[in-house]
């Protein structure tokens, strides 16, 4: 925690956008998932929303066609290390996933989100040397704790949303895909619109 605060103070972590407009960005971790990623992509396309998908290298190797589909639909792709493991922030994990995504897409991601949001000076130094931006989040949907779509919708309806929020979802849960349209509708009813992450942070 102290390391994270120290790095954040140096401007090395991005938690939220700088805008004062009522705009937020959606992000999805831990995919690609064969069962749910495409469903989420279809919802986002229907709603006219561009998101960031922080993918793990292991499922990306297994489902390269889904990585290509995310990219083809105009979404950004970020590096989420190879596996969601304790040593996920090692140079090996970041580098390996970068190479996998380069082989699939022809380019390596310029965004990295460490699993669990755990940042170390080692991963920070690697990202700085390779001009990779570390993206965390300001609003956690907690969809990994909640196992029911209705509960997730109600939980999000109670949450405070702020301008520039970077919202954390996961695209490997059925209830996330099921709840997403209603969550999007509720956010819009509160007067917020959706921007790409790049629009928020640049």
CA–CA separation, 31 vs 113, rounded Å?
Answer: 13
- CB count, 10 Å around CB of 156? 23
The fold adopted by the segment(s) 2-201 is TIM Barrel (3.20.20)
What secondary structure letter does DSSP report for 165? B
Catalytic-role residue among 29, 30, 89, 171? 29
- What is the CB neighbour count within 10 angstroms for residue 72? 11
Active site (annotated) includes residue 71: no
Indicate if 29 belongs to the active site: yes
Catalytic residue, candidates 75, 80, 170, 172: 170
What is the residue-level pLDDT of the chain in tens, covering all 202 positions?
A: 445 455 554 457 999 999 999 999 999 999 999 999 999 999 999 999 999 999 999 999 999 999 999 999 999 999 999 987 665 557 788 999 999 999 999 999 999 999 989 888 888 999 999 999 999 999 999 999 998 999 999 999 999 999 999 999 999 999 999 999 999 999 999 999 999 999 999 8
pLDDT attached to residue 61: 98
């Amino acid at each position: 925690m102290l390391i994270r605060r120290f790095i954040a103070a140096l401007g090395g972590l991005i938690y939220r956008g700088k805008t004062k407009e009522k705009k937020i960005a959606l992000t999805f971790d831990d995919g690609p998932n064969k069962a749910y990623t495409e469903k989420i992509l279809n919802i986002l396309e229907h709603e006219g929303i561009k998101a960031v998908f922080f993918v793990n290298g292991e499922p990306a190797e297994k489902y390269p066609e889904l990585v290509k589909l995310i990219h083809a639909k105009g979404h950004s792709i970020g590096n989420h290390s190879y596996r969601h493991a304790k040593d996920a922030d090692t140079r090996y994990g970041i580098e390996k996933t970068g190479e996998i995504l380069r082989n699939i897409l022809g380019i390596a991601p310029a965004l990295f989100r460490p699993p669990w949001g755990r940042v170390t000076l080692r991963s920070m130094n690697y990202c700085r040397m390779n001009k990779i931006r570390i993206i965390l989040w300001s609003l956690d949907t907690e969809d990994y704790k909640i196992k029911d779509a209705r509960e997730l919708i109600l939980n999000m309806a109670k949450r405070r949303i702020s301008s520039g929020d970077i919202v954390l979802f996961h695209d490997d849960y059925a209830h996330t895909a099921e709840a997403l349209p209603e969550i999007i509708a509720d956010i819009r009813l509160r007067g917020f619109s959706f921007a790409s992450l790049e629009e928020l942070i640049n």
